[in-house]
A and B are shown apart, each in its own frame.
Chain A
Amino acid sequence: MASSMKTPSELVADPVFQLNSLLWLTQPLPDAVGIRPVLREAGFEVDAICPSVTLPPDILLLFKDSGLAHQDNIRPDVVLCRQQDGRYGVVECKGNSFGPESLTARQARTLLAAVGPRLDEALGLRSGTITRSTARYLVPSQAAADMGLTLQVLGNELGSKKLRAGASCVLALELGDTVLSLVADNAARDFFGLRFEKVDFLSVEEGTDPRPLYFIPYDPDCSQSEEERAYCKRVLFERIQASLLGAGGRALPPADLVFDAEGLLNDATLGMYDLWENKESAKHMRKLVRQLLAKLAEILRNEVGDVFRFVENKGWTLQIPNENTKDAICNALSKFSCEKMDCYQ
């Protein structure tokens, strides 16, 4: 059985951990199960994950005239909403703060401009749906103060160029010995209706990695430590392995099952793969999957025979001629370890 134990500072700075923690904060959960969904308690739910947000043309023109570095289109991590009073929070997860001169500030300027009074337009919602909005940065607690300063500077910058910056706030993750807490600045407390500056939301047993189950196991576009990237890759691969094994187990021989990297990636990411517009990232993901499939083909070749291979113009094809071969395939796939990239002995 594999072991994974992260240091607190590494984990709370990991964007995939942050994103998944954020998603758990909005899940329906009973009391006292180790995770307290404080944002759901405050009435917020996930409106969109990684939505494409494009500024209205007039705001884009103002940006062009201003000379401020920006992006025409952004994909924030999550949009949270409270439909009862039309509050929308656009959330970006960051492993650290960044300065106004950094490349990341280009994205932040666009985000701040987007969450202004025209956010309903940028999100494709009916005019008037949004009554109040904010750009929210989720960072490790030690980066919160600097992050707040940067947002203030960027907001002033936009204002000086006649661009109306929307409200912004900072939420931070702080990992203690026995709890993971959400720390909210004044603006965040006011927006989300949180009563306390710090709310414990995830209990941590001593000597135990605090991470929750991952909804979204992998994000090729975020910056991660090597170790954390390896963990996420393992989870992604195990989910793909489960897809393949499940398809094999359900097959009725004789059968030829055809797989493609895109379909497997969508299965493994609850459909998020389709959202990765960065072509290089998508290509990287498909390459990873092909590596896994090639390894599985090799294992199956050794253990069962030449039953899994890439067929031109068709895709990865798993041939299951009879029940005995099916059992052998399932047995070999079951034993494969995505951590070791080999079979368990």
Chain B
Amino acid sequence: MIETDISHIRSRREMIRFLDGYSLERKEELDERKVKRPLVKTHLIEVLDGRQARTDDQYKDLFARRGLTLKPIDTGLFMARDQAGSPVGFLESLRPRIAALYSTMDSQPLSAFVRKLIISAPELDHVWLSGVTFNVLWNVVTRLSAPNRFAKIVFTHDSVFEVDNESEMSDAEEEAPGPQDETEDSAGVVERRAARFQLIDRVSVVRSKLSSLQHLYSPLYAISQLRFPSPAGRGGHDFYDNGKVTNRSESFRDHRSHVLYVTRIYEQMLGRTEQQAWYSVTTSLRTHGEFRKVVGAPLVVKFVEPLTAPTFDHWVKSTFERSRNRFRLWGHPIRLGPTKVHVYGLDRHLWQPLFLELTANGCMAIIPNGTCGNSVHRLVTNIQRFLDPGAQVYLGDLPYAKFVEEASVGIEYENAE
């Protein structure tokens, strides 16, 4: 599946040197606008709660079940091949809960391959970077980058639940397409709010304008792609909301450093989300026996613009009457009013419980102990993308953005080798 022979690579050092050289060649081609081979891409994959993949053998077993054969070439680093034995790239365990798949495959088949891998595996998920998370990462970019460097931000919002015509409801398959899967030829004609555009300008200019632009036009909160300019030279690293990262710099080391940096922030976010949000009845021992109390905090999403009744209905129906829905949720909604339902259901991807109140004004979720924090980040990402780009999100009484900010404090870049 990749054109270049990578079978000779025997260590992390060799992989980095190989991908460094490959990246430099592609960057030269990019500068000449004659890219002959695909760029290096990374797909960040969450390995659910990290417990199932503590050792290299466990990693191999986990991915083998899903059709990805891993051959260890260094500690926590594997050559990855598909079921036909064709090389896909390298898979590295970056952190206990997060793996990176580095590949030089073409973008579309690689995205499709990763999506298929993850959709069949409840123990795997994308790393979900919501618009709120990207807004915090954008602040990091402004601090890291010289003001005259060029920033690139892509905004994506598509109010798919605004009913344009009934035929849209008849699709059996509603998985969200990948960031680059929509083509001009396949785009239908629909009349509803949809915004997808990119902004490229100097960091200083974007920094001074973005906040006020977002205030004026809420889809600008729905950042779906953000470039970290490379300190190693021109170009940078494009992070997508589903954990894909494209290297448009000349250095793979720098690419990996950025991937590691965002991965650490994400892992902190997961831990903090779970610590704050998990509901359980805790037990404490006192002289007269055990005492129990409810601990945890709800996830609260406030829509800036309340949904209309038809949009709300469409959202609920298309989510809970289709097994393969955008939000990957399951449940039997209990209708409590024209725009209020309760669902004692599941995150259907990770198969973990989630109790939801959905209204025209927002959503509230009780997340039982043990449910992965990724459910929260996927929910927020999808709400911003498909329902309300400016939605305000809280864990308990604390803004979600504050969690992301705190998760990014003290995280350092690391030498790539």
- Residues of A in contact with B (beta carbons under 8 Å apart): 1-5, 23, 27-30, 32-34, 46-52, 54, 122-125, 205, 207-209, 211-213, 215, 217, 234-235, 238-239, 242-243, 245-250, 252, 267, 270-272, 275, 331, 334, 337-339, 344
Docked complex: B342-390 residues within 8 A CB-CB of A: 342, 344-346, 348, 350-353, 355-357, 359, 361-362, 364, 366, 368-369
Query: Can you give 24 contacting A-B residue pairs, CB < 8 Å?
Result: A2-B333, A3-B334, A4-B336, A5-B337, A23-B294, A29-B298, A30-B394, A32-B302, A33-B302, A124-B287, A207-B338, A209-B336, A209-B337, A211-B342, A213-B298, A213-B355, A213-B357, A238-B332, A245-B330, A246-B353, A249-B346, A250-B350, A270-B281, A272-B281
Q: Which of A267, A270, A331 contacts B294 (CB 8 A)?
A: A270
19 additional A-B pairs beyond A28-B397, A209-B336, A331-B323, beta carbons within 8 Å, are: A2-B333, A23-B294, A30-B397, A30-B399, A34-B361, A52-B288, A123-B291, A205-B338, A208-B339, A213-B298, A213-B364, A235-B334, A239-B353, A242-B330, A243-B353, A250-B350, A270-B281, A271-B283, A272-B281
What interface size band does chain B fall in?
35 or more
A124 near B292: Cβ-Cβ < 8 Å: no
How many A-B pairs fall under 8 Å by CB? 164
A28 near B297: Cβ-Cβ < 8 Å: yes
Chain A, residue nearest B320 (CB): A1
CA A339 to CA B334, docked complex, whole Å: 10
A242 near B344: Cβ-Cβ < 8 Å: yes
A123 near B366: Cβ-Cβ < 8 Å: no
A215 near B344: Cβ-Cβ < 8 Å: no
CA A1 to CA B331, docked complex, whole Å: 10
Chain A, residue nearest B344 (CB): A238
Residues in B whose Cβ lies below 8 Å from that of A49: 281, 292-294
Q: Which of B289, B330, B353 contacts A334 (CB 8 A)?
A: B330
Q: Which 5 A-B residue pairings sit nearest by Cβ, starting from the closest?
A: A208-B337, A124-B286, A249-B351, A28-B396, A124-B288
Chain A interface mostly? loop
Residues in A whose Cβ lies below 8 Å from that of B334: 1-4, 234-235
A28 near B398: Cβ-Cβ < 8 Å: yes
Is B300 located at the chain interface by the 8 A CB criterion?
A: yes
B302 near A238: Cβ-Cβ < 8 Å: no
Is B223 located at the chain interface by the 8 A CB criterion?
A: no
Q: Which of A32, A239, A271, A339 contacts B292 (CB 8 A)?
A: A271
CA A33 to CA B293, docked complex, whole Å: 24
Check A275/B292 contact, CB under 8 A, given A124-B287, A245-B351, A334-B323.
Answer: yes
A124 near B346: Cβ-Cβ < 8 Å: no
CA A244 to CA B323, docked complex, whole Å: 17
Residues in B whose Cβ lies below 8 Å from that of A33: 300, 302, 361-362, 364, 394
CA A34 to CA B394, docked complex, whole Å: 14
Docked complex: B203-257 residues within 8 A CB-CB of A: none
With both chains docked as a complex, state the minimum distance between the C-beta of B349 and any C-beta of chain A, in angstroms. Answer: 9
Is B11 located at the chain interface by the 8 A CB criterion?
A: no
Is B316 located at the chain interface by the 8 A CB criterion?
A: yes
A2 near B297: Cβ-Cβ < 8 Å: no
Chain A, residue nearest B338 (CB): A207
B293 near A46: Cβ-Cβ < 8 Å: yes
Is B268 located at the chain interface by the 8 A CB criterion?
A: no
CA A279 to CA B293, docked complex, whole Å: 22
B293 near A271: Cβ-Cβ < 8 Å: no
Residues in B whose Cβ lies below 8 Å from that of A250: 122-123, 350-352
Chain A, residue nearest B394 (CB): A30
B289 near A124: Cβ-Cβ < 8 Å: yes
CA A124 to CA B122, docked complex, whole Å: 44
Is B34 located at the chain interface by the 8 A CB criterion?
A: no
Is B142 located at the chain interface by the 8 A CB criterion?
A: no
A215 near B294: Cβ-Cβ < 8 Å: yes
With both chains docked as a complex, state the minimum distance between the C-beta of B332 and any C-beta of chain A, in angstroms. Answer: 6
Residues in B whose Cβ lies below 8 Å from that of A275: 292
CA A209 to CA B357, docked complex, whole Å: 12
- Residues of B in contact with A (beta carbons under 8 Å apart): 65, 122-123, 279-281, 283, 286-289, 291-294, 297-298, 300, 302, 316-317, 320, 323, 330-342, 344-346, 348, 350-353, 355-357, 359, 361-362, 364, 366, 368-369, 392, 394, 396-399
B353 near A48: Cβ-Cβ < 8 Å: no
Residues in A whose Cβ lies below 8 Å from that of B356: 213
B396 near A54: Cβ-Cβ < 8 Å: no
Check A5/B336 contact, CB under 8 A, given A49-B281, A270-B368.
Answer: yes
Residues in A whose Cβ lies below 8 Å from that of B342: 211, 213, 235
CA A48 to CA B292, docked complex, whole Å: 5
Check A30/B302 contact, CB under 8 A, given A2-B335, A209-B337, A242-B344.
Answer: yes
With both chains docked as a complex, state the minimum distance between the C-beta of A276 and any C-beta of chain B, in angstroms. Answer: 12
CA A122 to CA B350, docked complex, whole Å: 43
A208 near B292: Cβ-Cβ < 8 Å: no
CA A52 to CA B294, docked complex, whole Å: 16
With both chains docked as a complex, state the minimum distance between the C-beta of B378 and any C-beta of chain A, in angstroms. Answer: 16
Residues in A whose Cβ lies below 8 Å from that of B291: 47-48, 51, 123-124
Residues in A whose Cβ lies below 8 Å from that of B283: 271
A27 near B396: Cβ-Cβ < 8 Å: yes
Residues in A whose Cβ lies below 8 Å from that of B338: 205, 207-208
With both chains docked as a complex, state the minimum distance between the C-beta of B316 and any C-beta of chain A, in angstroms. Answer: 7
CA A49 to CA B300, docked complex, whole Å: 24
CA A250 to CA B338, docked complex, whole Å: 34
B336 near A249: Cβ-Cβ < 8 Å: no
With both chains docked as a complex, state the minimum distance between the C-beta of A210 and any C-beta of chain B, in angstroms. Answer: 8
A1 near B333: Cβ-Cβ < 8 Å: yes
Residues in A whose Cβ lies below 8 Å from that of B122: 249-250
Q: Which of A47, A48, A245, A344 contacts B346 (CB 8 A)?
A: A245
Check A29/B294 contact, CB under 8 A, given A205-B337, A271-B281.
Answer: no
Residues in B whose Cβ lies below 8 Å from that of A211: 336, 342
Residues in A whose Cβ lies below 8 Å from that of B359: 34, 205
With both chains docked as a complex, state the minimum distance between the C-beta of A288 and any C-beta of chain B, in angstroms. Answer: 16
Residues in A whose Cβ lies below 8 Å from that of B298: 27-29, 213
Chain A, residue nearest B348 (CB): A249
With both chains docked as a complex, state the minimum distance between the C-beta of A204 and any C-beta of chain B, in angstroms. Answer: 9
With both chains docked as a complex, state the minimum distance between the C-beta of B27 and any C-beta of chain A, in angstroms. Answer: 42
With both chains docked as a complex, state the minimum distance between the C-beta of B204 and any C-beta of chain A, in angstroms. Answer: 33
Residues in B whose Cβ lies below 8 Å from that of A205: 337-340, 359
With both chains docked as a complex, state the minimum distance between the C-beta of A270 and any C-beta of chain B, in angstroms. Answer: 5
Residues in B whose Cβ lies below 8 Å from that of A215: 279, 294, 366
CA A49 to CA B353, docked complex, whole Å: 22
Chain A, residue nearest B65 (CB): A252
Residues in B whose Cβ lies below 8 Å from that of A52: 288-289
With both chains docked as a complex, state the minimum distance between the C-beta of A3 and any C-beta of chain B, in angstroms. Answer: 4
Residues in A whose Cβ lies below 8 Å from that of B357: 212-213
Check A271/B280 contact, CB under 8 A, given A4-B335, A54-B288, A207-B338.
Answer: yes
